[in-house]
Amino acid sequence: MEFKESARLYEEAKKYTPGGVHTSIRNLEPHLVFKKAEGAYIYDADGNKYIDYQGAFGPYILGHNHPYVNNKVIEALGRTDLYGTGSTDLEIELAEKICKHVPSAEQVLFCNSGSEATYHAIRLARAVTKRFKLIKFQGCYHGWHDYVARNMLSSWDMIGKRDPGSAGMMEEAIDNTLVCTFNDLEDVERTMKSNDGEVAALIIEPIPHNIGCIMPQPGFLEGIRKLCNEHGIILIFDEVITGFRHDIGCYQKVAGVTPDLTTMGKAMANGFPIAAVAGKKAYMQRFNTQPGGDVWFAGTYNGHAVGTAASIATLEMMENEPVHEHVFRLGEKMRGGLRDILKRLDIESYVAGFGSVFTTYFMGFEPKNYSDLQHNDAEFYVAYRRALMEKGIFKLPMNMKRNHISYSHTDKEIDYTLESIEEVLRDMKGKK
Ligand code: PMP
């Protein structure tokens, strides 16, 4: 495979943009410049074609450039766009749909990115409780802002090393963020007790997909819900990845645990920029979109026709077609196939996943939290991923992250992927 045109364009990109990329973890070796995306496939500037499992970190639940969604957006733009006063028919239709499907959503507000949604949810929780501390979990990522930046995970982190967050952060934000261990209820209880009356909110990815796929152990999410109730702490499920990908009612519907507030994004609109914060009406009424509300909520592009139309279309697809049935079936097939291959080749590994998400940890047991991942052979994964690229399979750059299957993937792509994985691993094992 050649990457000459990508390399040439990358030199141009670096002249005008620091590092040539517009998000911190997009710098990879080899650097690719992408030019085309369609269904389950992406194409780089040299014309190389890949089956895409990165899915732009998760939005593409239906596949790239999905015609139903794109057509709805084009149709909407034929008559409407953005106003800055009042409401739009598209906002109302989407809000109603979300409140119908998502158990915790009594009311909802739209913004443009997951980071905005988590920022608003945390600030609301602080206003409601008149407390300032926040509990989060090691390895969970909730966005780029100071409220959640402690222990965020970037691709350049080494496992086991404390993430410094970002230069320029407010020290107060770091001091007010308490980091617990996922799947460890005792740790959470101890932290709540030793900060009694000071913790406003607990924010959690119900499945920490930012470190692959660590499943909540039975009773963990229920235990968190109970502890939050006992300590008067607002429970925020950050469903920016899990929301709509695992169920049209988000993962909370699957788990049967209802948070007070929920943040959503990504799969909500199949790649178009829109996110949301939703929750209990009594809390949501505190936002100053409501007369008398005292928690600031604003954004020039909030509720834009592009995002709202795309999200309505995406949810309609989930309502009317077997989207989840399809991606869950292919996810099972992929995980089952991977387990068989790894067993046949006798490679120490744990294949994790849920629904459309899968990941392979090169370690001999099921990881239950971030620290367990220090046993994972990250170097082996990087070489494995690179070899798969040569076969036209595009996976996420780090094995702590997950891979996604979309409604546009078919048995053909899964079969080819599994065959290629077996070839690559056989070859790598021979050289080990
Ligand atoms: N929450 C979670 C769980 C995420 O994975 C992300 C982004 N990967 C965010 C929040 C932030 O979303 P955004 O990048 O859209 O600001």
- Band of residue 162 on the pLDDT scale cut at 50, 70, 90: very low
**Whether the CB of 54 sits within 6 Å of ligand 1:** no
**Ligand 1 in reach of 238 Cβ (< 6 A):** yes
Cβ of 241 less than 6 Å from ligand 1: yes
Cα of 241 vs centre of ligand 1, distance in Å, is 7
pLDDT of residue 164 exceeding 70, the answer is no
Which residues are within 8 A (CB) of 15 and not within 5 positions of it... i.e. 6 or more apart?
none
Answer yes or no: is pLDDT of 152 > 80. Answer: no
- What backbone phi and psi angles, to 5 degrees, belong to 189? -65, -45
Structural domain boundaries in the chain:
4-65+322-431, 68-320
pLDDT, mean over the chain: 94
Q: Which of 15-29, 73-87, 208-222, 344-358 has the lowest mean pLDDT?
A: 15-29
Q: What are the helix (H) ranges across 240-322? A: 250-255, 281-284, 305-320
402 CA to middle of ligand 1, Å? 14
In the 8-state DSSP scheme, what is residue 146? G
Strands 234-239 and 403-404: what pairing?
unpaired
* Alpha carbon of 142 to ligand 1 centroid (Å): 5
Q: What fold is seen in the domain 4-65+322-431?
A: Aspartate Aminotransferase, domain 1 (3.90.1150)
The CATH number for 68-320, chosen from 3.40.50.150, 1.10.760.10, 3.30.70.2660, 3.40.640.10, is 3.40.640.10
- Give the number of the atom of ligand 1 that is nearest the alpha carbon of residue 266: 15
Residue with structure tokens 């639940």?
61
Contact 205 CB / ligand 1 (< 6 Å): yes
The answer to whether the beta carbons of residues 192 and 227 sit under 8 Å apart is: yes
Is the pLDDT score of 182 beyond 70? yes
Which one from 72, 266, 395, 401 is the annotated catalytic residue?
266
Q: Is the pLDDT of residue 408 over 60?
A: yes
Catalytic residue, from 44, 146, 187, 238: name it: 238
| 262/1 Cα distance (integer angstroms) | 43
Residue 84, phi-psi category: left (phi > 0), alpha (psi -120 to 50), beta (remainder): left
For residue 163, how far is its CA from the centre of ligand 1 (angstroms)? 17
Q: Is 141 considered catalytic here?
A: yes
Confidence of residue 350 (pLDDT cuts 50, 70, 90): very high
State the pLDDT confidence band at 426, using cuts at 50, 70 and 90. very high
Query: Taking the mean position of all CA atoms in its chain, how far away is CA 33?
Result: 23
ipTM: 0.99
**Quick check: 160 pLDDT over 50?**
no
Q: Ligand 1 in contact with 113 (CB < 6 A)?
A: yes
pLDDT over threshold 90, residue 298: yes
The angle subtended at Cα 10 by Cα 5 and Cα 14, nearest 5°, is: 160
Q: How confident is the model at residue 174 (pLDDT cuts 50, 70, 90)?
A: confident
Q: For residue 333, what pLDDT is reported?
A: 98
- The answer, yes or no, to whether residue 424 has pLDDT greater than 70, is yes
Average pLDDT (146-154) is 66
The phi-psi region of residue 105 (left if phi > 0; otherwise alpha if psi is between -120 and 50; otherwise beta) is beta
- pLDDT digits 0-9 by tens, 117-138: 999 999 999 999 999 999 999 8
Residue to substitute in 119, 134, 142 for testing ligand 1 pocket (most ligand atoms within 8 angstroms of CB): 142
pLDDT reported for residue 72: 98
Q: Are 350 and 215 in contact (CB under 8 A)?
A: no
The string of pLDDT tens digits covering residues 258-294 is 999 999 999 999 999 999 999 999 999 999 999 999 9
CA of 399 to the centre of ligand 1 (A): 18
- Please report, to the nearest 10 degrees, the dihedral formed by the alpha carbons of residues 56, 142, 109, 322 taken in order: 40
Atom of ligand 1 nearest to the CA of 143: 11
Q: What is the pLDDT of residue 414?
A: 98
Q: Is the CB of 242 under 6 A from ligand 1?
A: no
Q: Is 115 in the pocket of ligand 1 (CB under 6 A)?
A: yes
**331 has a pLDDT exceeding 50:** yes
Residue 355 CA to residue 370 CA, distance in Å, equals 21
In the reported structure, the alpha carbon of residue 114 is separated from the centroid of ligand 1 by a whole-number distance in angstroms of: 5
User: Rounded to whole angstroms, how far apart are CA atoms 30 and 375?
Assistant: 27
Q: Does the beta carbon of 265 sit less than 6 angstroms from any atom of ligand 1?
A: yes
- Give me the pLDDT at residue 97, please: 98
Token code pair at residue 428? 């790598």
What mean pLDDT comes out for the span 70-75?
A: 98
Which of 239, 266, 396, 401 for a ligand 1 pocket mutation test, highest count of atoms within 8 Å of Cβ?
Answer: 266
Strands 107-111 and 133-137: unpaired
Instruction: Please report the pLDDT score of residue 29 as a whole number.
Output: 84
Range 362-387 average pLDDT: 91
pLDDT at 27 > cutoff 90: no
Task: Read off the DSSP letter of residue 83.
Answer: -
Tokens 């996810």: give the residue: 331
Among this protein's residues, is 14 annotated catalytic? no
* Structural contact between residues 422 and 73, judged by C-beta atoms closer than 8 angstroms: no
User: Is the model's pLDDT at 151 over the cut of 70?
Assistant: no
pLDDT of residue 157: 42
Ligand 1 in contact with 394 (CB < 6 A)? no
Report the DSSP beta bridge partners of residue 160: none
Candidates 141, 283, 350, 361; catalytic one: 141
- Stated pTM of the model: 0.96
Q: What is the mean pLDDT of residues 85-95?
A: 98
pLDDT for the residue 150 = 62
- DSSP-based helix, strand, coil % in the chain, nearest 5: 40, 15, 40
Confidence of residue 432 (pLDDT cuts 50, 70, 90): low
- Indicate the range of 132-146, 160-174, 189-203 predicted with least confidence: 160-174
**Backbone Cα Rg of the chain:** 21
Does the beta carbon of 239 sit less than 6 angstroms from any atom of ligand 1? Answer: no
